[in-house]
Amino acid sequence: MKLIIDIGNSNTKIALFEEKNMFSSKILGDYCLKNILEFVSGHKVSSTIISTVKIINSEISSISTYFNAIILNSETSVPIKNKYKSTDTLGNDRLAAVTGANSLYPLNDIIVFDAGTCLTIDFINSKGEYLGGRISPGIEVRYKSLNTFTDKLPLLSLENSMPFIGNDTHSSIISGVQQGILSEVSSVISDYRSKKQHIVALVTGGDCFFFEKELKKSIFAEPNLVLVGLNEILDFNE
């Protein structure tokens, strides 16, 4: 049984894999060793990988030491060709997501959207070459920025229903944030498909189902894409 740990900005995802199949998973608010040991209780862990967007602290070090884990970094071998110029600044979540996408859709050109704290957009081609992408604010950050940097705009959050055009401040903010980010994603997909008609578009991250619902057949949600990619990287290093 392989233990996969993905420490993100907002929460931590952990999973157990048997070969390529995810056996179980959980989202943790606190990634302490005690919580992880409770999750793996009753299972023999043979190998572990940790991906973190945070600076490695004593708690992460203790988890790594206990499980003799690989901590993903720019020196870790990966099963794709990484052509990003500054590999030491590339987020582990972005690298794992494109690795996961390549394993699920081999020999395809793929756009990967990770819709979480940030909206990252990454491209990996049919040769398994990761070329780079974009980083912009995610939905929650867009809402918070309007409230933080203005005196009168309220703090809102993701809503299921949204107008195309707002007719008051509340609905105008929702339209601007949610329709705006949908337009951004839709435009990127259209631009790529004008060059590569059969490119696969995947979305992962906490808001992935929002994009799948609103953009329908244009994009497919893969909520565990980063975990799948980390499992592939762990296998590659074994």
pLDDT of residue 31: 87
Q: What is the DSSP string of 120-169?
A: EEEEE-TTSEEEEEEEEE-HHHHHHHHHHSSSSPPP----S---SS-SSH
Cβ contact 101:172 at 8 Å: no
Spatial CB neighbours of 175, under 8 Å, sequence gap ≥ 6: 162, 163, 164, 165, 166
34: pLDDT confidence band, cut at 50, 70 and 90?
very high
pLDDT of residue 224: 96
Tokens matching residue 79: 């099963």
Give pLDDT tens digits for 53-109: 888 999 999 999 999 999 999 999 999 999 999 999 999 999 999 999 999 999 999
Residues marked as catalytic: 93
Mean pLDDT throughout 111-138? Answer: 97
Cα distance between residue 93 and residue 108, in whole Å? 20
pLDDT of residue 17: 98
pLDDT of residue 25: 96
Q: If DSSP codes are grouped into helix, strand and coil, which group holds residue 16?
A: strand
Residue 215 has pLDDT above 90, yes or no: yes
Give pLDDT tens digits for 139-178: 999 999 999 999 999 999 999 989 999 999 999 999 999 9
pLDDT of residue 19: 95
Residue 8 has pLDDT above 90, yes or no: no
Q: Is 217 exposed, middle or buried (0-12, 13-18, 19+ CB in 10 A)?
A: exposed
